[in-house]
Structure 1
């Protein structure tokens, strides 16, 4: 599979749910084998980079914990998770489980995840790009934090966004 493999159509997307088309941009070798493992290791050791956390979600088939580094984002006092690469495995697992944990060091926060409809994603995507464009901007097809609301709304179906609601 190529680094920028794109899946489209209804396959992989939840029927009737947010994101009518599924899109996944696979990470390159360096990201998958070096960067993400390094960020996850540092975060597990209690040294998060740029506010990173390790997302833990039960696998939708295996029930085993699956982990990946993520960048939670607070907008208007509400925390969110944004999937810059599209409908990744963690997105599919979170849609199925509807809850997970955000971990840093020995601390773990259980949460409920609520996927946002595309119309509600604009301010979250704008802030996400403002804060992390240096890391994820390439996955937004030229759309940046300074884009119009219409441009961000057009990009919204490609990027699942979840509101994080603490369980404890």
Structure 2
């Protein structure tokens, strides 16, 4: 699976500002890293369909995606969830809901990675 690495400015500056100020409706996803077991924080836009929240990876198989696959227990803002990856065949409606929410910024990612299989999607279920 492909991965589009973010530029330095995005990874080190913009993402922190986005999480602090909720830029573009962004929320903070916290996952546990595979190797160090430390927290990784990522700004995400979360579409909801029929009361279910979803995570969409615009950049493909990113580190946070790999981390969620290894440990599906995540926190979105201050609520705990269990993330379940959707099969490729079920991703289209979620991606269609996601793209207008995220705005024009993500369109370049879909031009570079046009197949839904390149964009992992996870459904979030509230943790017990």
* TM-score of the superposed pair, with normalisation by structure 1: 0.71
The alpha carbon displacement at 1:50 in A equals: 3.2
Q: What does 1:1-168 correspond to in 2, within 5 Å?
A: 22-42=1-21, 48-103=22-77, 108-141=78-111, 155-168=115-128
Mapped to 2, the partners of 1:130 and 1:65 lie a distance apart of 29
Mapped to 1, the partners of 2:95 and 2:109 lie a distance apart of 12
Mapped to 2, the partners of 1:84 and 1:96 lie a distance apart of 19
Q: CA RMSD in A?
A: 1.7
Q: What residue number does 1:147 align with?
A: none
* TM-score of the superposed pair, with normalisation by structure 2: 0.91
Could you give the per-residue CA deviations for residues 76-100 of structure 1, whole angstroms, max 9, x where no partner exists? 2211000000010000000100111
Mapped to 2, the partners of 1:109 and 1:97 lie a distance apart of 16
TM superposition outliers: structure 1 runs of 4+ over 3 Å: none
Q: Is the 8 A contact 2:18 2:24 kept in 1?
A: no
Mapped to 2, the partners of 1:36 and 1:136 lie a distance apart of 14
Could you give the per-residue CA deviations for residues 12-62 of structure 1, whole angstroms, max 9, x where no partner exists? xxxxxxxxxx211011233123211211222xxxxx233311111111111
Q: Which has the larger radius of gyration?
A: 1
Mapped to 1, the partners of 2:12 and 2:38 lie a distance apart of 21
The residue matched to 1:54 in structure 2 has which SS? strand
Instruction: Tell me which of the two structures has the higher relative contact order, counting C-alpha pairs closer than 8 angstroms and 6 or more residues apart.
Output: 2
Q: Is the 8 A contact 2:45 2:101 kept in 1?
A: no
Which has a greater percent of helix?
Answer: 2
The residue matched to 2:103 in structure 1 has which SS? helix
Mapped to 2, the partners of 1:118 and 1:163 lie a distance apart of 13
